[in-house]
């Protein structure tokens, strides 16, 4: 369901007109976000647009309009499934999926996301990787379900038991040998910015 945009009486009040530039600069490749012509091919190609607050096209219009808080509060990047349908169809070749990642990381920094399920899941996944160097599904699922879906634990536990019996899950994490090296790399990476 899409939410209509609020229309302030003076649209420039509170608008951050450098926001587009900031989002584009913080995206991995050359985002081409400035090239968006608002054609709506992205939203029309999106398999999960129905669950988004704003279609990608609307989100990009909000970014251009400097509606920083509204854009960072939108659930849109958290619903995005990274299927890249919009990316290959966009006539302006905007790196849409990567812009979604940028908006997510900005929303986390500004603590503006509405629902903590998705950011917590990503953070828990990353915690496992930073601890072991590998993903650890059992630990991830346990922590995630306890925190966010306690009522789903019985169902998840039965599926987990099936996965364990078929040796598709292990209760012990695997740790890489070069953990100290990975720690050092990530520690330095965290001190770096793409734009500075």
Partner 1 sequence: MSGYLLYPGCSLDTGARAYDESLHAIAGPLGLELTEIDDWNCCGATEYLGINLIPAYALIGRNLALAARQANGSRTVVAPCSACYLNLAKADHYMRERPILGERVNEALAAGDLQYEPGSLEIRHLLDVIINDVGLDEIKARVKRPLSGLRVAPYLGCMVPRPDYEHRWSDHEHPIELDRLLDALGAEVIDFPLKTHCCGGHMTQIGPETAYELIRRLLHAADQFKADVIATVCPMCQLNLDAYQGATNRHFGTSYEIPIVFFTQLIGLALGLDADAAGFGREMVSARHALGRVGVKPPPPTDAEARRRPKKDRLSLPMPQMPGGEGGEP
Binding site for partner 1 (CB under 8 A): 26, 28-30, 47-48, 51, 77-79, 81-85, 87-88, 97-98, 100-102, 104-105, 108, 117-119, 121-123, 125-126, 129, 133-135, 137, 141, 144, 152, 155, 159, 161-163, 165-170, 174, 176-178, 181-182, 184-190, 192-194
- Shortest distance, CB of residue 148 to partner 1, whole angstroms? 9
- Shortest distance, CB of residue 167 to partner 1, whole angstroms? 6
Q: What is the 3-state secondary structure (H, E, C) of 84-142?
A: CHHHHHCCCCCCHHHHHHHHHHHHHHHCCCCCCHHHHHHHHHHHHHHHHCCCCHHHHHH
Using the minimum distance from each CB to partner 1, give the nearer residue, 6 or 191. Answer: 191
Q: CA-CA distance, 62 to 54, in Å (whole number)? A: 9
- Shortest distance, CB of residue 111 to partner 1, whole angstroms? 13
For 63, residues 6+ apart whose C-beta sits below 8 A from its C-beta are: 19, 20, 23, 33, 71, 103
The number of angstroms, rounded, from the C-alpha of 142 to the middle of its chain's C-alpha atoms is 21
C-alpha distances out from residue 174 to 121, 131, 133, 141, 179, Å: 20, 10, 8, 16, 11
- Shortest distance, CB of residue 94 to partner 1, whole angstroms? 12
- Shortest distance, CB of residue 116 to partner 1, whole angstroms? 11
């Amino acid at each position: 369901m899409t939410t209509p945009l609020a229309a302030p009486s003076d649209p420039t009040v509170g608008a951050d007109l450098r926001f587009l530039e900031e989002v584009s600069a913080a995206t991995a490749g050359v985002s081409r976000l400035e090239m968006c012509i608002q054609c709506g091919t992205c939203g029309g190609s999106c398999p999960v647009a129905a669950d988004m607050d704003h279609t990608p096209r609307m989100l990009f219009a909000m970014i251009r309009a400097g509606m920083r808080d509204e854009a960072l509060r939108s659930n849109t990047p958290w619903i995005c499934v990274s299927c890249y349908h919009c990316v290959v169809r966009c006539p302006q070749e905007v790196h849409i999926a990567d812009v979604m990642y940028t908006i997510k990381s900005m929303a986390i920094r500004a603590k503006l996301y509405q629902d903590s399920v998705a950011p917590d899941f990503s953070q828990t996944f990353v915690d496992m990787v930073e601890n072991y160097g590998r993903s650890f599904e059992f630990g991830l699922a346990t922590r995630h379900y306890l925190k966010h879906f306690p009522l789903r634990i019985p169902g998840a536990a039965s599926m987990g038991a099936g996965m364990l019996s078929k040796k598709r899950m292990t209760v012990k994490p695997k740790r890489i040998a070069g953990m100290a090296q990975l720690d050092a790399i990530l520690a330095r990476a965290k001190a770096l910015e793409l734009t500075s």
